[in-house]
Structure 1
């Protein structure tokens, strides 16, 4: 005969308390004496009580699941960065026995319903993402993975230390003798793009250099388009001797453009990327890049969001910063041009 499951009512009866007191004692809430709480815990242990998560969710409204929103999330699984970010978020949710739900993401079409989750991670918030704005206005606990663009409602954020790593690359390039740096990255639609461009231009001003910038749409993976953009930049600014690209697709376009123009990264122009990937380590030449540790970023987003959920929205006043690491490769090691005396 199948044993009947022990209920909360059974625990309450065994501890000689009300059902609501038993529920509060088991969840660590409510006001009661330590002796009463311990009596409930002892009764639950003695009866081998296991709470019913469905019933508990109906009572509290909690589903022990957090949502993950990203612009065009399905397409982004081709990105090493996004796969690592999701893996980190899964590690963070599993550590606290939460589920992770990947939310549907059509940035131009509003949601019909607010998702049935306890909170949401917004990865790489973008200004014209309609669904991200809906989530921010829905009253759910929200944590963003990376900076918000100007004009977008905010929330606690977890970010990589981009500026420190970018300045490290720029200082290294200056030591190599560069005089005409350039940057290509996302426009004001991306808070990450705004941060990188602002940091680049501030560094150039501090060093008395005229920095050149060009804009690229966030998430644009069209290598041919980026190749054309780099060709045009070098036609406009032929003295450019350092190019900082925000993403791998821009680097691939830059390599094609430089090959066409007969220029060699690491020799007559330095090339670096603000995000690393396995591919950048095996290009010719290998590309210096900033590892922003997306797995750690995703894991920290999940940890912070679950803390907010379980502590009624309490969040740090300041942003949470995950260290970034520069992987130095041949594309920023200036080699002497054949027939020319080294500096």
Structure 2
């Protein structure tokens, strides 16, 4: 026999209050004494009452869910940065009793209906993502986890201080003898790529260094075959390159192989570093220097700011940047004396 569901009316009768008072007491709203609010909550706990999310949403216009929009989300779980970012968002959602919904992310087609969430987190906005633009224009509270590329609608941003982090990496490599750096970074469709490119160009000008920036092709977080061909061609055409900076773990692993195939050795006559750290970098041979972008902390910070805004109306600052850590490993050991320019 089916067990009867405990209703809000049951809680109200048990506590000896009106239905409206019971609803406000459990939602934390309304004006009443703390004694009454406690009485209602104790009655709900005693009866094993669980709020009906659909009914509550109809009354309040709230779902107590936040949405996460990531282009090609399923494939991006292959990327440690994305997995850790999602984990950070989930940590905070659980703490505040919010559901976390992974939003449909078809980049070429507009949504049929608006997402049924109270707020949205956009970890890595891309200018080519039709649905990201649609969400930014939707009026739903939203926070971006990375700087927005030029031309996208505005949004509060909680991101990483890539400027300081990349400059620190370049300074480290320069002190170790690097004078001909190459940066592979996303193109102008990515806010992250725009920042990295600008920092790299400015640093090279300040140090009178002839650096090379090449937009890197990516799909679903993986380094494409065309990307490998690009690196191979660079190493062939520019034999004086002594520092190669790639985006993440997939590109770093491919670069190690391509450098070896070019007859060069990382940690002796060329350096290798990544703009986003991962555990894989620790076990590569040699281990690869990288920037720890603290994605779990970043995801948690985005979620905390969004939920505080939803629950209490707290204003989210226009731009908040978290620091990144330079993790130096053997791949950026000082160049051998006979290999320096």
What is the TM-score normalised by the length of structure 2? 0.88
Partner of 2:68: 68
Query: Against the structure 1 CA distance between its residues 140 and 226, is the aligned structure 2 distance closer, same or farther, given a 3 Å change threshold?
Result: same
- Give the alignment's Cα RMSD to 1 decimal: 2.7
- Map 1:210-249; keep pairs closer than 5 Å: 210-219=210-219, 221-249=222-250
Query: Per-residue displacement from partner, 1:136-176 (whole Å, max 9, x unpaired)?
Result: 11111111111111111121122122222211111111111
Instruction: Output one character per residue of 1:273-295: Cα deviation in whole Å (capped at 9) or x when no partner.
Output: 00111222122211101111111
Query: Partner residue of 1:200?
Result: 200
Matched, 1:120 2:120: yes
Distance 1:250 1:45, change over 3 A: closer
SS of the residue 1:101 aligns to: strand
**In the comparison of the two structures, how many residue pairs are matched?**
335
Query: Is the partner of 1:58 in helix, strand or coil?
Result: helix
Shift of 1:256: 2.5
Q: How far does the alpha carbon of each residue in 1:95-129 deviate from its partner, in whole angstroms, 9 at most, with x for none?
A: 10011111121111211111111111112111110
Which residue pairs with 1:260 in the alignment?
261
Instruction: Tell me what 1:44 maps to.
Output: 40
TM-score (normalizing by structure 1): 0.88
**Which residue in the other structure is 1:292 paired with?**
293
Matched-pair contact (CA < 8 Å) for 1:190–1:218? no
Tell whether 2:306 aligns with 1:310.
no
Tell me how far 1:83 sits from its aligned partner: 1.3
**Counterpart for residue 189 of structure 2:** 189
Q: In the aligned structure 1, how far is the partner of 2:42 from the partner of 2:201? A: 66
- Structure 2 CA distance for aligned equivalents of residues 63 and 149 of structure 1: 30
Q: Is the 8 A contact 1:26 1:40 kept in 2?
A: no
Separation (CA, whole Å) in 1 of partners of 2:330 and 2:15: 71
Structure 1 residues 47-82: Cα deviation after superposition (integer angstroms, max 9, x where no partner):
446462433222002111111110100111111111
Q: For residues 157 and 28 of structure 1, do their structure 2 counterparts lie closer, same or farther at Cα, with a shift above 3 Å needed?
A: same
Distance in 2, Cα, partners of 1:271 & 1:130: 35
- What is the correspondence of 1:74-153 to structure 2 with a 5 Å cutoff? 74-153=74-153
